[in-house]
Chain A
């Protein structure tokens, strides 16, 4: 049975049919989309760990779920990189079967509580909702509902574990425990494989732990989802760097039949401008790792972190928003986003930009740093900005920022966080002999199967894409699992 046939079959179950008829389509579509409660901006801009979005109440979830028309050909599903059976989980919410909804989500997603929080749904599932596609109305709040179902299950204490077929005894190794690795591990465990995930850091979760702050994604939620994978039989080996602690050959010798490389794009880019190595200038990876993974702002933690009063974050992606909002929460009186293009081109989610603005972050668009100056202690104290304007569109369709000759200004800063992208981690390519990489350092794969030119090695996530999103990484993990399973069954 194909996935589509399976979803059709689910749709034709009696209760679904009844539910569809219980309310007229007009009544469903006349309902306004729900709004999620948020913490007060003034209060939350001083709370490092309290989640900003509060989730939906049961009433809100029931009301919103009924907006979904349960389309015969649900286009929303095509917008989801892991092809969640969206109507089935939404309709389960509508009939009040919240645990059933959560179970349905877990068939295809290893981390529903995470995705419901950090996916850019406005560019994915929700962008393909019939409401927005055909009716010019706000789409069903699929992300909110996904989060609701996952949170409900977690808080109910009745977490379901997907059924596992008989174990086949075939050992599979996963390199990296970020979203791609976790998604792959979950899918392979559900197919009966003996999966071990190797993680270089002392915590499981990759960017979900060291990168995304708790006010957007609480660590506890990530841990619960990792716990589900453990119950599925996935083994985790922390503090183990494939390529350093153990080699590709060691994995072979230990009988691993397939390897999925999901080592991410962890290398921070710098701009190579004067003064960038002054004290107080750091990558967003360093800043966020200190605060999120090492809990540096907690006095009980041994890891220190600098907290500036005048903080500039360079860049305008989600990582930049996470950094600037974190800096604000650590006491920055002035927290600024410095971006060389205009607001329209910002890669961050619209919601993150809105939240940042509400929390008092200043946006200096069409500005680009060209140098930093330090005091006698080598601490950054001011930066020179070049004013920009937008020129012709480049190959990617974005208008290119061009310097306005002679238009520069100096502003005082005591901390600068550089958030201008990341590059693929070269560790695996440099230690797996024969692995082909592009000039950007990403691993070359067959896009259908995620297989590299080494027959037992597959790869996915940022190590093949460069810096991308959580859900694309999860989609890669899913695709690789299906293809590796196919190949191993031979």
Chain B
């Protein structure tokens, strides 16, 4: 059974949960996700694994309360059990020494970005992390990100912390100043779209980790399908990471609103 071992609030709406899942902890790699279901009538929702501890047999999830299902997950306390937890799912992030890598994380997307930042650093890359959020309270995991980054740039919409401006303003500053070999981006779809447009202009290869609607998460249904380079792909098995410059973000944004 998957017991919640530890709970921590990053902000009133963002929760970190450390969950017992020894088999998943052992086989997961950076970029993998799990499907979580809470309660008998719960929905299956995808969440990227933010961290794991093989010794303790745990995985870490960071969840933002945005609706019915995420609210149920955020309401779990230490000692509670997750009804259903399955993974690791998707393809792991391709990690190698690229040179200079920008890791651009928005909002709660910083959590799944963290293992990638760590792996990129360990692979010998120069890592520049750009974190962005609406306001100071929503900047999470700053310390951990800083630990594995050669440089950390923080952007807030309202200027309450770091630099005032959007994530693209932060990235642009780096691009103007030095050669960047790769950009990795995780965050709201609209943010990833604009990061992608910017890096495309500068010919910087870019990977985006997509967060579409899913049901089974194993390739069985196609709820998560998107168009990449003119072809239909299933995010749960072909992704979640794709060449951002090939992704039809406008279609993805529409599909995300299917149940709104």
Binding site for B on A (CB under 8 A): 200-202, 210, 238-241, 244-247, 266-268, 270, 272, 276-277, 279-280, 282-283, 285-286, 289-290, 294-295, 298, 300-304, 306, 377-378, 425-427
Contacts and interface: CB of A to CB of B under 8 A. Distances in A.
B222 A283 contact: yes
Nearest to B248: A277
A301 B41 contact: yes
A378 B255 contact: yes
A294 B41 CA distance: 7
Contact of A286 (B24, B68, B215): B215
A282 B257 contact: no
Contacts of A246: 23, 27
B254 A302 contact: no
Contacts of A304: 259
Contacts of A266: 218-220
Contacts of B83: 202
Given A202-B37, A267-B219, A286-B215, A244 B43 contact: no
B187 interface: no
Contacts of A378: 251, 254-255, 257
A295 B40 CA distance: 10
Contact of A294 (B27, B43, B85, B88): B43
A200 B86 contact: yes
Nearest to A301: B41
B69 A302 contact: yes
Interface in B57-95: 68-69, 72, 83-89
A290 B225 contact: no
Contact of B215 (A244, A294, A426): A294
23 contacts: A239-B84, A240-B23, A241-B218, A244-B27, A245-B27, A247-B27, A272-B232, A277-B232, A282-B223, A285-B222, A286-B222, A286-B223, A289-B216, A289-B220, A289-B221, A302-B42, A303-B44, A304-B259, A306-B258, A306-B259, A378-B255, A378-B257, A427-B218
B235 to A, nearest CB: 12
Contacts of B257: 279, 377-378
A286 B221 contact: yes
Interface string B218-260: 1111110111000010000000000000000001001101110
Contacts of A239: 84-86
A298 B23 contact: no
Contacts of A294: 43-44, 215
Interface in B149-205: none
B41 A302 contact: yes
A270 B223 CA distance: 12
Nearest to B234: A267
B142 to A, nearest CB: 32
Given A200-B86, A245-B23, A289-B216, A302 B251 contact: no
Nearest to B219: A267
A29 B92 CA distance: 65
Given A245-B24, A245-B27, 10 more contacts: A200-B86, A202-B86, A239-B86, A240-B86, A267-B219, A279-B257, A280-B258, A294-B44, A302-B43, A426-B219
A279 B221 contact: no
A298 B216 CA distance: 19
Chain A CB within 10 Å, residue with most, of B72, B216, B223, B232: B216
Contacts of A282: 221-223
Chain A CB within 10 Å, residue with most, of B24, B216, B221, B259: B221
